[in-house]
Amino acid sequence: MLTLVTGSLVFQEQSASAFSNLRTWITSSFDIFFMVSANLFAVFCLFLIVSPYGRIRLGGKEARPRYSYLSWLAMLFAAGVGIGLMFFGVLEPVTHTLNPPLGIDPENESVARSAGMASAIFHWGLHAWAIYAIVGLALAFFSFNRALPLTLRSAFYPLFGKAVWGPFGHVIDTIAVLATVFGLSTSLGFGAEQIAAGINYLFGIEDTELFKISLIVIIISVAMVSVVAGMDKGIKRLSELNMGLAGALMIFVIVTGPALAIFSAIFQATKDYVFYIPQLSGWTGREDVDFLHGWTTFYWAWWISWSPFVGMFIARVSFGRTVREFITGVLVLPTLICIIWMATFGGTALDQLFNEGYQGVANAAPELALFKMLEGLPFTTFVSSLSVILITIFFVTSADSGSLVMDTLTAGGKMDAPVQQRIFWCASTGLVAITLLLGGGMSSLQALTISIGLPFCLVLLLMCLSIMLGLIEEYRDT
């Protein structure tokens, strides 16, 4: 960690250029590999839902879930993509409608809107959650059903046996920790910039570096309290609060916005998503190479690089679920929520653009897209202020769940590591974020984090094989 942070700061221009070139090379040279892999992950997960292996219970026949469906889903969503939907839920539908994929003419409004909404959902739907589901299922199964440590190396025991406790396993777990630390740190840094931009837009408070650092300190301090409180008292309650506030915000947009257009958009977006999945999942004969590389393969690399963190967290909270429950809860339900969210927020922004001629979102800086959309609704300042609070809490839940994951990994899979160690990882993430924010090395490590997606894609493919071997053996024993 110290070496990479120091190198990114001391050799700022060189590292920024090197990592940026590396990211471009990976997303353009391995586009087919990422596309094929993401399709395989989605198909594999859907197969498990309908297969006989779906009856297998994580933890054994007598195991029962520790959390209610609502609490479980809240924690999955808050750790997985909650903060991303707050940022991209308005931005992507508008961006992809104005610059539609698949060579579609943007002047053809109805087709452009359908393709734009479908492509926004595509990046946050089944393929994305399938990546998380595979890592989560592998970790949960081999930990709860095979009594192996809750670390990534355990998922490869059927393939490599005792070799996972040697250098191979050390490398896998170390990369997972680094991906989590730098992924969270860069997100915290950029998150502080987004929150500061929102506060500056609403209240005119200057978004200085000192102000952004103060925001990071606040986020990490709250996350630290949550981590110390533990899963049930801290992370669970914050996640439930998040989902409640997010639900209230969505209901507000529906009630005060174009309600009929939103309900129509939810139905239409579902149809469009299903219709465009085959085309967006393909890689041959594409006219939209920039979209394919700049958005889709970038997203798949990003999801894969985050999968150790989110997958580990999902595994920790999924004891007692059947494989069918697990895949449905991790894959299908979040996808439906993403469709409803995108159709509500993105649909409102598109209605403002095409029916009211309001250009606010189309011309806004990315971090202000949500606030510009809310400008067209009543109680703008109050609701936008609540949105800033909601975004902040989403960052807190990402920080505390990430710290818990790093703590588990570095404790060799133990889920009851000392409190001091939890505090250490939480504080370290904040310090790395502040250092990179001050030094300007954040873009370098963001590019590095995405680049980790390439080797980890191979890891996920091996995980699919390992999961299948484990489930077949378990099914025979029952």
Q: Could you give the CA distance from residue 469 to residue 478 in angstroms, rounded to a whole number?
A: 15
CATH of the domain at 291: 1.20.1740
User: If pLDDT is split at 50, 70 and 90, which confidence band does 79 have?
Assistant: low
Give the per-residue pLDDT at 229.
75
Domain total of the chain: 1
Has residue 256 got a pLDDT over 70?
Answer: yes
Has residue 233 got a pLDDT over 70?
Answer: no
Give the per-residue pLDDT at 188.
79
Has residue 232 got a pLDDT over 80?
Answer: no
Give the per-residue pLDDT at 234.
62
Among 434, 266, 391, which Cα is nearest to 336's?
A: 266
Question: What are the structure tokens assigned to 178, written together?
Answer: 């680094």
- 3-state DSSP call for residue 57? strand
Give the per-residue pLDDT at 442.
66
Determine the average pLDDT of the residues in 188-196.
Answer: 80
Q: Could you give the CA distance from residue 289 to residue 286 in angstroms, rounded to a whole number?
A: 6
Residue that wins the pLDDT comparison between 324 and 244: 324
Q: What angle do CA 93, 238, 82 make, to 5 degrees?
A: 15
Placement of tokens 């309600």 in the chain: 259
User: If pLDDT is split at 50, 70 and 90, which confidence band does 242 have?
Assistant: confident
Among 160, 215, 214, 167, which Cα is nearest to 191's?
A: 215
Furthest CA-CA distance within the chain: 65
Q: In this structure, which amino acid lies at residue 467?
A: I
Residue 33 neighbours by CB distance under 10 Å: 17
Among 314, 358, 365, which Cα is nearest to 140's?
A: 314
Give the per-residue pLDDT at 97.
94
Per DSSP, 99 falls in state S
Has residue 95 got a pLDDT over 90?
Answer: yes
Has residue 78 got a pLDDT over 70?
Answer: no
Instruction: Please answer whether residues 209 and 438 qualify as being in contact, where contact means their C-beta atoms are separated by less than 8 angstroms.
Output: yes
pLDDT tens, position by position, 371-394: 999 998 999 999 999 888 888 888
Has residue 63 got a pLDDT over 80?
Answer: yes
pTM listed for this prediction: 0.91
Has residue 16 got a pLDDT over 80?
Answer: no
Has residue 144 got a pLDDT over 90?
Answer: yes
Has residue 1 got a pLDDT over 70?
Answer: yes
Q: Which of 8-22, 32-46, 155-169 shows the lowest mean pLDDT across its residues? A: 8-22
Domain that holds residue 186: 2-477
Has residue 300 got a pLDDT over 80?
Answer: yes
